[in-house]
Structure 1
Amino acid sequence: MYEERPSRLDGAVVWTRAAGPAAPFSVLPDGCMDLLWSDGRLYVAGPDTRAYVPENPCARYAGVRFAPGDAPVLLGVPAHELRDRRVDLAALWPGDRVRRLAERVGEAADPAAALEDLALRHAAGAPRPDPVIRAVAARLGAGWPVARAADAVGLGARQLHRRSLDAFGYGPKTLARVLRLQRALALVRAGAPHARAAAEAGCADQAHLAREMRALGGTTLSAYAASAKSDTPQPSGSSTTA
């Protein structure tokens, strides 16, 4: 069973997935990065440009999903270096420290809460998220064209692209596509017909949404809608690791 809740860390989400029998599932791109704990190990899930299928769907997971653009500042690594990757936290932070942190999370009665505490403590000593990057993510998430979002924050096209690679892992056009798909899928999960979901999310038509679903999600809208009706909700973003 997958569950999530808002984090005490601004803009983040805390989520868990219980161990036990489970069918294979896909994690769809959402513009986010995650700090994860599973099987006694700490990982980082980088920003995805395609659906990710965990190798072990039966494992127990806890995660903190950061708002788009926030994780690179907190973790100290440009997002593009982790694009479409799952990386041990020990590759980014000192190994001895990561081992101690992993043990602390694993021994906790609530690993997700312990992982959230870890993120909060680290964030307290890290630079603040870039307000310009947050403004870009908010505008693209609301469906603004990339050029309009760039103008609103005072960045040229090249500046925006360069800063987006570091913050989101890819350019603003890719982020806009990912966030548009997520808007559409939220409507599909709420029961909206596919044509309406496409129109309200900003797609040209239902066929456009179907193509984006295949390209980014690796599946069809009908298959996704069927899985959304199951009694085991699935994460919509970069929420698991191998």
Structure 2
Amino acid sequence: MYAERASRLPGAVVWSRVPGPPAPGADNRSAASGGGPGEPPATPVAAVLPDGCMDLLWTEGRLLVAGPDTGPYVPDEVSSGGGWAGVRFFPGTAPTYLGVPADELRDRRVELTDLWAASEVRRLAARIDAADDPVTALEDVALRRAADTEQPDPVLLDVVAALDAGRPVARTADELGLGARQLHRRSLRAFGYGPKTLARVLRLQRALALARDGVPFAETALRAGFADQAHLARDVRELAGATLGELVARR
């Protein structure tokens, strides 16, 4: 079962995933393990889709960081039976809080001990393990880290807002007083990829939100900023590895 809520850290989302029975009518085989005859039913594992974000993750004694994705990611660990919690940072903010450029973690999941002192990570993991509510305990870690670091560059937050509103990359750079190369360099560090890829990822998320709200696909394409429905279909397939209809049905 998956649940999420707004975090006390501005712009972030706190989420949890715990093992549970498969949904009615769902394929009983785990998307990660494949399942098989005679095996107990497992909760189907949904792919994580690109969203421009990075996550701080906890699972029973481990702390990890999920870098920004450029394609669908199926989390093998979720099918192993343990619970998970995560703090999903607002796009462009995690590199400041975690102390690592986003492009170094693109399409990767790494142990937090690869980024922070191992003794500190073990101490934090033990505290979360022992907490009555590991989700809130993990959120507390993120809040303390944010309080102890510099605040993210507000210009990068303006980049997210502009691109999410559908503004072209060149216009965004001009409005923010940035050269194209400067915007690209800063975007790599903050988002893990250049502004054109970020714009595509944010447009994908707009389309998913519209389609899941029941907006017809042709209208979804227009309102999300695609040239037409064929353009929408190509981008969704390239970024999400599935059709828009499949993604809506999987929800």
TM-score category, normalised to shorter length: over 0.9
> Does 1:5 pair with 2:20?
no
Per-residue deviation, 1:152: 1.4
1:18-97 alignment runs, 5 A limit: 18-20=18-20, 21-58=42-79, 59-97=82-120
Q: Is the 8 A contact 2:71 2:238 kept in 1?
A: yes
Q: Which runs of 4+ in 1 moved over 6 A?
A: none
Per-residue deviation, 1:107: 1.2
State the match for 1:132 in structure 2. Answer: 155
AA aligned opposite 1:211: R
Partner SS state of residue 56, structure 1 = helix
> Does 1:201 pair with 2:224?
yes
Superposed CA offset, 1:100-120 (max 9, x none): 101111111111100100100
TM-score by length of 2: 0.89
Per-residue deviation, 1:221: 1.0
After superposing the two structures, state which structure 1 stretch, 54-63 or 175-184, moved more: 54-63
| Equivalent of 2:123 in 83, 100, 104 | 100
Superposed CA offset, 1:79-127 (max 9, x none): 0000000010010000000011011111111111001001001111101
Distance in structure 2 (CA, Å) of the matches to 1:208 and 1:189 = 18
Partner SS state of residue 87, structure 2 = strand
Distance in structure 1 (CA, Å) of the matches to 2:90 and 2:46 = 23
Q: Is the 8 A contact 1:210 1:220 kept in 2?
A: yes
Distance in structure 2 (CA, Å) of the matches to 1:151 and 1:42 = 40
Distance in structure 1 (CA, Å) of the matches to 2:12 and 2:198 = 18
| Equivalent of 2:181 in 158, 163, 172 | 158
AA aligned opposite 1:23: P
Partner SS state of residue 5, structure 2 = strand
Q: Is the 8 A contact 1:73 1:129 kept in 2?
A: yes
- Unaligned runs of 5+ residues in structure 1 are 229-242
Aligned-residue CA RMSD (Å):
0.9
How many residue pairs are counted as aligned between the two chains?
Answer: 228
> Does 1:223 pair with 2:246?
yes
Per-residue deviation, 1:24: 2.6
Q: Is the 8 A contact 2:78 2:84 kept in 1?
A: no
- Unaligned runs of 5+ residues in structure 2 are 21-41
State the match for 2:204 in structure 1. Answer: 181
Distance in structure 2 (CA, Å) of the matches to 1:70 and 1:166 = 10
Distance in structure 1 (CA, Å) of the matches to 2:246 and 2:164 = 24
AA aligned opposite 1:169: G
Partner SS state of residue 192, structure 1 = coil
Q: Is the 8 A contact 1:23 1:57 kept in 2?
A: no
Per-residue deviation, 1:161: 0.2
Give % identity: 65
Q: Is the 8 A contact 1:22 1:57 kept in 2?
A: no
Per-residue deviation, 1:170: 0.3
Larger radius of gyration: 2
Per-residue deviation, 1:141: 1.1
TM-score by length of 1: 0.92
Distance in structure 2 (CA, Å) of the matches to 1:46 and 1:185 = 21
Per-residue deviation, 1:225: 1.1
